């Protein structure tokens, strides 16, 4: 992020570069983000086995020729239920736990970021920047709520990131070092520093 003394065209190009880097990073990390938010879930085969044993405790003693197809048959509806539960869990995690701490405030990533854009970034004219913004911003007059419902969804993440980067792109506060000298000295000694981190 550049300081407020940036030339307007530089600010737009820097925003474009930051968004392109952000998109690359989010695209590359998509499998890991989805896996992390779905970490507790089992495969369809494992679900079928668990459901079969929950319904019929004696199934553990059944011959594999009977147990395996029975588990597969039960696994289909169990997987559908798991998908719905997984979607709901990701939405709850996004709404309740996904935050970003900035100096002086904490942003909930599931909530719309209503901060105004700097004037120079309100109506960009660069075609490449406009093309990238159009991928993630709804076309007017559609309501523009950037709060992500499910952080595992790339387009929802990028919609929030576009707002975040545009709103804070010229923030001098974010251009400051994240730690003061005393905190750096503590970190160097292997000690958790005091104060806001």
**Distance of alpha carbon 86 from alpha carbon 38, whole angstroms:** 7
DSSP for residue 137: S
Which single residue is written with the structure tokens 């029975």? 70
Mean pLDDT, rounded, for 14-34: 94
**Distance of alpha carbon 160 from alpha carbon 145, whole angstroms:** 9
* Inter-CA distances, 186 with 43, 90, 149, Å: 45, 36, 38
pLDDT, tens digit, for every residue of 81-117?
Answer: 777 878 888 888 888 888 998 888 899 999 999 999 9
Average pLDDT, the chain: 85
| 157: CB partners within 8 A, 6+ apart | 26, 33, 148, 151
| 152: CB partners within 8 A, 6+ apart | 33, 34, 37, 38, 90
pLDDT at 3 over 50: no
Mean pLDDT, rounded, for 178-195: 90
């Amino acid at each position: 992020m550049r300081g407020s003394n940036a030339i307007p065209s530089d600010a737009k190009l820097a925003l474009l570069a930051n968004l392109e880097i952000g998109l690359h990073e989010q695209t590359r990390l998509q499998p890991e983000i989805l896996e992390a938010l779905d970490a507790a879930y089992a495969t369809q085969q494992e679900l079928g086995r668990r459901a079969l044993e929950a319904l019929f405790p004696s199934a553990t003693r059944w011959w594999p020729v009977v147990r395996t197809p029975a588990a597969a048959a039960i696994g289909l509806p169990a997987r559908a239920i798991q998908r719905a539960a997984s979607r709901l869990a990701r939405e709850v995690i996004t709404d309740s736990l996904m935050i970003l701490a900035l100096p002086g405030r904490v942003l909930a990533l599931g909530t719309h970021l209503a901060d105004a854009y700097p004037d120079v970034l309100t109506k960009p004219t660069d075609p490449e920047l406009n093309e990238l913004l159009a991928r993630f911003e709804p076309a007017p007059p559609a309501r523009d709520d950037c709060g992500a419902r499910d952080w595992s969804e790339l387009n929802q993440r990028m919609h929030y990131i576009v707002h975040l980067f545009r709103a804070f792109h010229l923030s001098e506060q974010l251009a400051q070092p994240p730690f003061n000298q005393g905190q750096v000295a503590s970190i160097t000694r292997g000690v958790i520093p005091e104060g806001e981190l």
